[in-house]
Amino acid sequence: MMGFGFVVARFGLFLREIAVVRGGEATRGAGSLWAGTALVLLGVLVNIYGAVSHARFRRRFDAGESIPISSGFGIILASLLAAIGLVMAVFLLLRG
pLDDT in tens, 56-79: 889 999 999 887 777 787 788 888
First-last CA distance in the chain: 23
At residue 24, the pLDDT reads 67
Report the number of distinct structural domains present in the chain. 1
* Residues 19, 27 contacting (CB under 8 angstroms): yes
Query: What CA–CA distance (Å, rounded) separates 27 from 42?
Result: 27
Q: Which of 18, 17, 47, 14 lies closest to 33 in space, CA to CA?
A: 14
At residue 62, the pLDDT reads 93
Residue type, 85: G
For the chain, list residues with pLDDT below 50. none
Q: Which of 1, 84, 89 lies closest to 42 in space, CA to CA?
A: 1
Structural domain for 33, as ranges: 2-70
Query: Which CA distances in Å does 82 have to 9, 47, 58, 71, 75?
Result: 19, 17, 28, 16, 10
Query: What CA–CA distance (Å, rounded) separates 94 from 91?
Result: 5
At residue 63, the pLDDT reads 92
At residue 26, the pLDDT reads 60
Domain presence at residue 20: yes
Note the pTM of the prediction, 2 decimals. Answer: 0.62
